[in-house]
């Protein structure tokens, strides 16, 4: 736990120590996945609220009995959703490490895959904190304040616009431009600098490219979802 705190608040020193250890970040991965599971559990009522909004706002009328049945099914599957979410998060970490490894191969700093995975896992705690903070804000405001199923990210530049004005793709991108994602990029850059001994400027540019590639997927997914829901008459 000390290493995690040092990564967050004294990353240069912590990454140098990790470089010397050169071992699989098993404990950090376990703690990260457990905290992600906690956030997913806290998100269950929010997911139910979003489902209710999407069905109630559909141009196709949904009977109250059908709505209750859908919510009941969602409630029964909540733990399965959490398990699936944790597994998905673990796979995402391995894929992010692979992406960083490939980018560094092209850019030429020498970074082994296991070191890439170590940097990604420890840096990802910044994103985890961002998710917990966002969930906390949603609860603090009250779930009854959620009136749009897509406007549930409250830590990014998306706060200065609406999905109607910006469109789904741009709105999602703006939601990812937040202090926690910036924190993630900085931690990643410091870790890359320490493990490869390249200049911080080059490490930062590599990590910005890495981040831009990773945000393509949620943005594209949002655009696809928006088109699908419009065709189904739910937007």
Domain count along the chain:
1
Q: Give residue 108's region: left, alpha or beta (phi > 0; psi -120 to 50).
A: left
Radius of gyration of the chain (CA): 20
How does pLDDT run across 87-111, given as a tens digit for each residue? Answer: 999 999 999 999 999 999 998 888 9
Q: Which residue's entry shows tokens 């530049």?
A: 157
CA 91 to chain centre: 13
Angle at 84 between CA 79 and CA 85, to 5 degrees: 95
Q: Which residue's entry shows tokens 């997927």?
A: 217
Can you say whether the dihedral through the CA atoms of 220, 169, 218, 192 is positive or negative?
A: positive
- Structural domain of 154: 2-231
Q: Torsion over CA of 69, 70, 71 and 77, rounded to 10 degrees?
A: 110
What is the chain's mean pLDDT, rounded?
A: 88
pLDDT of residue 75: 65
Question: Any idea what DSSP says for residue 16?
Answer: H
- Residues 148 and 30: beta-carbon distance below 8 Å: no
3-state secondary structure 137-203: HHHHHCHHHCCCCCCCCCCCHHHHCCHHHHCHHHHHHHHHCCHHHHHHHHHHHHHHHHHHCCCHHHH
Give the pLDDT mean for 164-190: 94
Q: Provide the pLDDT confidence category of residue 225 given band limits of 50, 70 and 90.
A: confident
Give 74-82's long-range contacts (Cβ < 8 A, gap of 24+).
74/47, 74/48, 75/44, 75/48, 78/41, 78/44, 81/40, 81/44, 81/47, 82/37, 82/40, 82/41, 82/44
Q: Provide the pLDDT confidence category of residue 81 given band limits of 50, 70 and 90.
A: confident
pLDDT of residue 63: 58
How is residue 73 written in tokens?
Answer: 């099914």
pLDDT of residue 216: 93
Alpha helices in 61-77 (DSSP H): 64-76
Quick check: 185 pLDDT over 60? Answer: yes
């Amino acid at each position: 736990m000390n290493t995690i705190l040092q990564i967050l608040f004294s990353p240069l020193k912590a990454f140098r120590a990790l470089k010397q250890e050169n071992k699989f970040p098993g404990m950090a991965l376990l703690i990260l996945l457990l905290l992600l599971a906690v956030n997913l559990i806290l998100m269950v009522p929010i997911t139910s609220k979003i489902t209710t909004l999407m069905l109630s706002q559909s141009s196709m009328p949904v009977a109250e009995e059908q709505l209750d049945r859908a919510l009941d099914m969602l409630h029964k599957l909540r733990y399965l959703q959490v398990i699936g979410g944790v597994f998905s998060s673990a796979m995402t970490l391995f894929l992010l490490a692979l992406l960083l490894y490939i980018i560094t191969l092209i850019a030429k700093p020498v970074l082994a895959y296991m070191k890439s995975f170590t940097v990604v896992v420890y840096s990802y705690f910044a994103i985890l904190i961002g998710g917990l903070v966002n969930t906390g804000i949603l609860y603090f405001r009250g779930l009854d304040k959620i009136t749009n199923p897509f406007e549930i990210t409250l830590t990014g530049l998306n706060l200065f616009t609406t999905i109607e004005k910006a469109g789904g793709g741009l709105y999602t991108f703006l939601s990812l431009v937040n202090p926690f994602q910036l924190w993630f990029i900085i931690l990643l850059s410091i870790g890359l600098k320490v493990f490869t001994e390249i200049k911080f400027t080059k490490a930062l540019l590599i990590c910005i490219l890495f981040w831009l590639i990773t945000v393509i997927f949620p943005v594209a997914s949002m655009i696809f979802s928006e088109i699908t829901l419009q065709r189904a008459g739910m937007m």
